[in-house]
Amino acid sequence: MVLTPGTKLGPYEIRSPLGSGGMGEVYRATDTKLGRDVALKVLPAEMAHDPERLARFRREAKALAQLDHPNIVTIYSVEESEGVHLLTMQLVEGQPLDHLITSAGLPLDQIIEIATALGDALAAAHEKGIVHRDLKPANVMVSNEGRVKVLDFGLAKDIRAADLGDATMTSDSRTQVGVVMGTPAYMSPEQTLQLTILGRCPLVTGAHKIFRIDLRNDRLRVPWSGFVLQSVFC
């Protein structure tokens, strides 16, 4: 289901697409009641009929609702309009981190600023028992004012829950149960090997992102690729 500009979902009017992923499609929309633009995440119809996907969508809303931090995107509401399930969130005007990283790398002061913001955001989520599980440059926005925001908690896990396994799908494809959760190039070893996910795992992936930001022309290297890939695929 692709929503075109002008489509209305309750008080929200679609303006333009912002992106899509394994757990939904995101649009820029106007909240006609409050007169402000928001990021509107829609669960596609084929997923809405899957109880597990719908449950994940709702868990994203609950995870975000627990987090109040300047470096984590703010959720406004979880709603349903004409059978369409949607989340409304703060609209961050800027660029995703993967678009900012150039072949020349980034200035050291900017790397430190981004690293500090990511660390603060992950620490705040950890304090609430939330593990992101899909932290990567595409899910980190840098606003036009330079503020770092962590986005997309669609694969987030509450590590305080009883079931700590919950490894079911990758974020870059809509796959069946049994596939490792996350984006392989940015996953911690524990996540790739389907071991128990602990609060320190996103700190590993956060460090990985800083490693990549500072690689300059060697951006495609993966710090632990040999161990992880050999363990999983051999």
Instruction: Write out the catalytic residue numbers.
Output: 134
CA distance linking residue 214 with residue 114, whole number of Å:
12
Whether the CA torsion 190, 95, 43, 40 is positive or negative: it is positive
CA distance linking residue 205 with residue 199, whole number of Å:
11
The two structure tokens encoding residue 52: 């597990």
**Segment (H or E) for 109:** helix 108-127
Q: Which amino acid is at 40?
A: L
CA distance linking residue 40 with residue 7, whole number of Å:
12
- For the chain, the maximum distance between any two Cα atoms, rounded to a whole number of angstroms, is 56
Phi, psi of 138 (to 5 degrees): -65, -20
Give residue for tokens 């349903």.
Answer: 80
